[in-house]
Amino acid sequence: MENHGGKKRVVVVGGGIAGSLVAKSLQFTAHVTLIDPKEYFEITWASLRSMVEPSFAERSVINHKDYLVHGNIITSSAVNVTETDVITADGHKIAFDYLVIATGHADDVPKSRRDRLHQFVEDNERIRSARSIMIVGGGPTGVELAAEIAVDFPHKKITIVHKGPRLLDFVGTKAADKTLKWLESRNIVVKLEQSIDLKELSYENKTYRTSNGETFEADCYFLCLGKPLASAWLEDTMLKHDMNEEGRIKVDEKLRVIGRRNIFAIGDITDVPEIKQGFAAQQHAEVVVKNLKVMIDGGRDCSQCRMENYKPQMPMAIVSLGRKDAVAQLPLMTVIGRVPGYIKSGDLFVGRTRRQMGLDPHTVHA
């Protein structure tokens, strides 16, 4: 049996924005085990910049072992959870006193940091060699990718195909309208209320037909569609009734799974009524870290503990538009241009996030 020095065992499932921050923050308070199918943590909102500038990913793709220096890392997927253990696909059975589920969305990315960095190089080569590019999806990912390409490669012909009546349907119409005008001012063609048959996509095909019958040329394409929640693995576990119809985990104001004292859920996988974005996931992590520290000090039941409540974020969002511009939806106004761009688009919060993870904001160690 492992000797944990009397420390409580905290298992974190998912090494994304929220899960990695919890693991990092508790590694000297508890015996922490991080379960993640990949070997690294990625600052996901920086990935589109990395496609036009692959070296940018050197700072935004971080091996778990670089920040989690005093915990266990299991590179595998969780496949089951009981009242006391998490079981992984490779056969590990990890006991816990407290469990944090932070699996977010399912994303098909390489296991190793080296392969992920190489993936950005390949994407960059596709962009550089293409004269025309199709982006399928007009959400924040599609819009930000189109903007990154248009700013760094202004002579590329870019077409966005989006099935919705407006771009960025997670924010208000003012932000969407301002974004459309910005894109069109960069000669980006936006086809709304149209779709592409995904079964017809291939790297050999250069001519595409939309659902409206319009045809256009594209040397390459990028799919920027919503990713499914990574909660399917819970459907055959004891938590199967703790999810809503969308597959999100139902949590209370302390971000505990409803009805369970020692199991928390954070990030996009929760049913917290707010825009799902990285900033909110980081706030989830900070609240759960505080609550777990209180619970660890006060005991598992902790009936008299004064724990912190999480308050859903107001409907604010900043979508970067290349290196200097952005569109921001704020509580009282919507603005576009250099001012919101100054807040986000230069470094994309990479330096700040690295600092939050206890790392040098600039220096990368191989």
Digit-coded pLDDT (tens) for 3-55: 577 899 999 999 999 999 999 999 999 999 999 999 999 999 999 999 999 99
Per-residue DSSP letter, 253: T
Tracing tokens 């819970």 back to the chain, one arrives at 234
- pLDDT at residue 1 greater than cutoff 60: no
Judged against a pLDDT cut of 60, whether residue 328 lies above it is answered with yes
Alpha helices in 153-226 (DSSP H): 173-185
Confidence of residue 131 (pLDDT cuts 50, 70, 90): very high
**Dist. CA 339–CA 13, nearest whole Å:** 37
- DSSP conformation class of 306: -
Cα–Cα distance for residue pair 282/277, rounded to 1 Å = 9
Cβ-contact 38, 44 below 8 angstroms: no
The pLDDT-based confidence of 275 (bands split at 50, 70, 90) is very high
| Strands 132-136 and 220-223, bridge-based pairing | parallel
249 strand-pairing partners: 243, 270
pLDDT for 366 equals 56
Give pLDDT tens digits for 330-357. Answer: 988 999 999 999 999 899 999 999 999 9
- Residue 299 has a pLDDT of 65
Q: Which segments of the chain belong to CATH 3.50.50.60? A: 9-38+75-107+227-311, 113-226+316-345
Please compute the mean of the pLDDT values over residues 198-213 and round it to a whole number: 89
Residue 306 has what pLDDT?
A: 87
SS3 (DSSP) at 276: coil
In the block, residue with structure tokens 């944090």:
100
pLDDT at 31: 98
Amino acid identity at 287 = V
| CA distance linking residue 93 with residue 130, whole number of Å | 48
pLDDT at residue 337, as a whole number? 96
3-state class percentages of the chain: helix first, strand second, coil last, to nearest 5? 35, 25, 45
CB 7 within 8 A of CB 31: yes
Q: What are the tokens at 95?
A: 């006991």
Tokens standing for residue 269: 């996988």
Quickly state the pLDDT bin for 2 (edges 50, 70, 90).
low
Mean pLDDT of the chain: 94
Instruction: Quick: pLDDT tens for 153-186.
Output: 999 999 999 999 999 998 899 999 999 999 999 9
Say whether pLDDT at 214 is over 60. yes
CATH of span 9-38+75-107+227-311: 3.50.50.60
Is pLDDT at 363 greater than 90 in this prediction? no
pTM for this predicted structure: 0.94
Question: Which CATH code for domain 113-226+316-345?
Answer: 3.50.50.60
Please state, for a pLDDT cut of 70, what percent of the chain lies above it: 96
Mean pLDDT, residues 291-320 taken together? 86
